[in-house]
Amino acid sequence: MMSRSSLLTAWLAFGFVCHCALHHVPAGAAAVTLSTASRWIVDEGGNRVKLTCVNWPSHLEPMLAEGLNKRPIGAIAADVAAMGFNCVRLTWPTFMVTNASYSSLTVEQSFQRLNLTDSLAGIRANNPDVVDMKLIDAFKSLVSSLGDNNLMVILDNHVSKPGWCCSPSDGNGFFGDGNFEPDVWVDGLTRMATMFAGVPNVVGMSLRNELRGPRQNSNDWYKYMQRGAEAVHAANPRVLVILSGLSFDNDLAFLASRQVTLSFARKAAFEVHWYSFSNGQEWASGNPNEVCARIGASVSRRALYLLDQGWPVILSEFGVDNRGGNVNDNRYYGCAAAVAADLDLDWALWTLQGSYYLREGVLDLDEVYGVLDRAWSGPRNATALRRVQALQRPLRGPGYAEAAPYEVLFHPATGLCVVRPSLTRPLELGPCGETEAWTYAQQDGRLTLRDSPMLCLHAEGAGRSVRLGLPCPDDRSHWRLVSDSKLHIAANASSSSGSGTGMLCLDVGADGRSVVTNPCRCLSGDSSCDPESQWFKLVTSSRSVAAREMLLAQLPIKLQSTKIRSL
Ligand SMILES: *[C@@H]1O[C@H](CO)[C@@H](O)[C@H](O)[C@H]1NC(C)=O
Ligand SMILES: *[C@@H]1O[C@H](CO)[C@@H](O)[C@H](O)[C@H]1NC(C)=O
Ligand SMILES: *[C@@H]1O[C@H](CO)[C@@H](O)[C@H](O)[C@H]1NC(C)=O
Ligand SMILES: *[C@@H]1O[C@H](CO)[C@@H](O)[C@H](O)[C@H]1NC(C)=O
């Protein structure tokens, strides 16, 4: 096993950490006051703040943020920041602040009550300060440590009665369920909003996680969510109020016909959850392009359409089994990441925790969706983490209009982008922070670099690297977005290349780095085939690409000769 320090060195070597440090976000950035400007979340100056959060649960039976038996709070918080997340969606159960049989407990009492002897010993060793604290004080101390690490916090009311979430019949699903008395809920929200009103890094409160179950209905949704939103805003007008939908937060479609009515403006956003299993095993059992198109359209119809209506929609839970062996998850991820990049969504990854003190009766349960390993000592899977980190950079929105909009050629399965390491080397996958600015002309199918528009991307044959050059446009430089997912970028092979004819799709070479073309895979029909390596997304960005422009300026390209075949 890799040691923790060598893992950190590896992240640094890959340059992730420095890409995360946004140049115009000063120290103390977590103390920002957020509001909304149409679909964007912005700071006091009106500049976009892209929420790139990770979930950290504190709502299970012990009511203490997971992992404090494994590492000191400050070390975990520092890792969250080092991994490039800028915020934590921190969950809490209502009863922790409304019900004396829970709220009166210290950390030690809470763990003793559940016989969590080993966990308690771990907490004593790693976080001795919290052992004798009341649960809410331990919670506050964690929020404060996140602030010390420049991390924003969204307080998420996850359940009423502490425990694993979410089943339709657990009494926590909808207003009126056994544990979900609306007045108690509003009281809990008010208490939390009041308690954290003076805490600068608490920037948002989400009203209730994953409403669901037989009682759910939109009339009660308006009645109670509006009441909850008003209560939070009255107690703490600084925080962004975040509203989740019905059916496990998969459904905000009802808002299309009836807007939410709030007394305040520019302080409310919506959240949506999207997992592979939100659609059962559809990803694994269908053709991935067809499933991606169908489910993508459905998520748009159910939630993301609100962006066009001028509301921020935070993808506040998404994630995959990080062991890489879950076909349903793998196919879903490429599609969901393409959507998240395309719309430049705010998001919160499920999830940080490598383990739970106690989940569904199991001690020290391993969380395979966790970014951290079971020991909380480093990333569970550095490859999976890197993919998610690609979604951390804001691409557009207020304050990110430094350049005329251009396209980024994003490869969701790796989280890398098509870059040109130097003017003489072939194109390859590299960090999206060093991306090329592409232009795609739909009419004649040209894919060109914005700054050398006369050179087109060419398919050179199966298994061969693509190249930038002349002449164009011709068949081999006429790119179409084929397949229902529109994630395959295809051109027709040269009949003279000797390597076959027919459609070739952008792909990743056998070295895992070069950008090649290969016969297009499983465009339709076939459900046994995985196309993810051929999935590329043209994503619009208006971020400055100053570094690349400098490189190009240093080496002026002469285009007089049509003999230039390759750069
Ligand atoms: C407080 O919690 C206990 C134990 O779960 C429960 O029986 C009781 O109904 C709760 N009281 C309120 C007011 O929620
Ligand atoms: C804790 O252990 C005691 C003694 O073995 C037992 O009586 C009690 O039921 C246990 N409580 C829980 C929550 O497991
Ligand atoms: C890490 O994740 C990648 C991407 O899903 C996967 O291919 C790989 O098998 C995973 N590795 C481990 C050790 O889990
Ligand atoms: C390749 O050529 C065929 C036949 O002319 C055409 O139907 C198809 O659209 C072309 N594909 C691409 C990607 O240009």
269 and 363 belong to one structural domain: yes
Which residues make Cβ contacts (< 8 Å) with residue 258, sequence separation at least 6?
218, 222
Ligand nearest to the CA of 184: 1
Q: Note whether 261 and 148 are same-domain residues.
A: yes
- Residue 224 covered by a domain: yes
Q: Across all residues in the chain, what is the average pLDDT?
A: 91
Return the pLDDT at 383.
Answer: 96
Q: Is the CB of 492 under 6 A from ligand 4?
A: yes
Residue 113 Cβ inside 6 Å of ligand 3? The answer reads no
Q: Are strands 152-159 and 362-366 parallel, antiparallel or unpaired?
A: unpaired
Q: Are residues 227 and 200 in the same domain?
A: yes
CATH number at residue 358: 3.20.20.80
Judge whether 87 lies within some domain.
yes
Residues 382 and 413 placed together within one structural domain of the fold? no
User: At residue 434, does pLDDT exceed 90?
Assistant: no
CA distances from 71 to 76, 148, 317, 368 (A): 7, 17, 24, 18
- What spacing in Å lies between the alpha carbon of 99 and ligand 1's midpoint? 6
Q: Are the CB atoms for 370 and 351 separated by under 8 Å?
A: yes
Ligand (nearest to CA of 111): 2
Point out the ligand 3 atom lying closest to the alpha carbon of residue 387: 4
Does some domain include residue 137? yes
Tell me: pLDDT of 406 over 80: yes
Q: How remote is the CA of residue 382 from the centroid of ligand 3, in Å? A: 8
**Which atom of ligand 4 is least distant from the CA of 502?**
1
Task: Identify the residue with better confidence: 375 or 420.
Answer: 375
Residue 2 lies in a domain: no
Question: Does 476 share its domain with 332?
Answer: no
How many residues are present in the chain? 567
Atom 14, ligand 1: residue with shortest CA distance: 99
* Pocket of ligand 3 contains residue 381 by CB under 6 Å: yes
The helix (run of H) or strand (run of E) holding residue 128 is none
Q: How many domains does the chain have?
A: 2
What's residue 516's pLDDT?
98
Residue 547 within a domain: no
Q: Whose CA is nearest to atom 12 of ligand 4?
A: 491
Give the residue, by CA position, lying nearest to ligand 3 atom 11: 323
Alpha carbons 466 and 415: distance in angstroms, whole number: 20
528 lines ligand 1 (CB under 6 A): no
Inform me whether the pLDDT recorded for 19 exceeds 50: no
| Residue 493 CB less than 6 A away from ligand 4 | no
pLDDT over threshold 80, residue 504: yes
Mutate to test the pocket of ligand 3, among 372, 383, 532, 535 (most ligand atoms within 8 A of CB): 383
Tell me the per-residue pLDDT of 358-403, one tens digit each, with 9 for 90 and over.
Answer: 999 999 999 999 999 999 999 999 999 999 999 999 999 999 988 8
Q: Is the CB of 117 under 6 A from ligand 2?
A: no
What DSSP string describes 318-334?
A: E---TTS--HHHHHHHH
- Assess whether the C-beta atom of 384 lies below 6 angstroms from ligand 3: yes
Token pair belonging to 50 = 């892209």
Confidence of residue 1 (pLDDT cuts 50, 70, 90): very low
Same structural domain for residues 58 and 157? Answer: yes
Which residue, by CA, sits nearest to atom 5 of ligand 4? Answer: 492
User: Is the shortest distance between the CB of 324 and ligand 3 below 6 Å?
Assistant: yes
Best of 105, 110, 115 for a ligand 2 pocket test (most atoms within 8 Å of beta carbon): 115
- Could you give the CA distance from residue 436 to residue 14 in angstroms, rounded to a whole number? 18
Distance of CA 311 to the CA centre of its chain: 18
Ligand 3 mutation pick, 322, 328, 380, max ligand atoms within 8 A of CB: 322
Structural domain includes residue 399: no
Mean pLDDT for 234-263 is 98
Task: Supply the pLDDT for residue 421.
Answer: 86
Averaged pLDDT, 521-536: 96
Residue 370 and residue 421 share a domain: no
Residue that finishes a domain, picked among 326, 358, 392: 392
Co-location of 370 and 426 in the same domain:
no
Q: Which ligand is nearest to the CA of 368?
A: 3
> If pLDDT is split at 50, 70 and 90, which confidence band does 290 have?
very high
* Ligand 4 lined by 459 (C-beta under 6 Å): no
In a domain, 115, yes or no: yes
- Of 336, 362, 392, the domain-final residue: 392
> How far apart are alpha carbons 524 and 501 in whole angstroms?
19
Rounded to the nearest 10°, the torsion over CA 17, 22, 28, 32 is: -130
What is the mean predicted confidence (pLDDT) over 541-563?
Answer: 53
328 Cβ closer than 6 Å to some ligand 4 atom: no
- Kindly give the distance from the C-alpha atom of residue 504 to the centroid of ligand 1, in angstroms, as a whole number: 63
Helix (H, G, I), strand (E, B) or coil at 479: coil
The pLDDT tens digits of the residues spanning 322-345 come to 999 999 999 999 999 999 999 999
Domain assignment of residue 82, yes or no: yes
The residue whose C-alpha atom lies closest to atom 3 belonging to ligand 1 is 101
Give, using CA atoms, the residue closest to atom 10 of ligand 2: 115
Owning domain of residue 428: 406-541
CATH number at residue 437: 2.80.10.50
- My answer on whether 125 and 261 are in the same domain is yes
Nearest to 304 by CA among 257, 265, 251, 260: 251
The answer to whether residues 338 and 299 belong to one domain is: yes
Q: How confident is residue 558, by pLDDT bands cut at 50, 70 and 90?
A: very low
Shared domain for 352 and 466, answered yes or no, is no
Answer whether 428's CB lies under 8 Å from 419's CB: yes
The structure's pTM equals 0.92
* Ligand 1 neighbour 99 (Cβ under 6 A): yes
Where b means 16+ CB within 10 Å and e means fewer, 237-266 reads ebbbbbbbbbbbbbbbbebeeeeeeeeeee
156 and 40 belong to one structural domain: yes
What single DSSP character describes residue 362? E
Answer whether residue 466 shows pLDDT above 50. yes
**Tens of pLDDT, residues 90-147:** 999 999 999 999 999 999 999 999 999 999 999 999 999 999 999 999 999 999 999 9
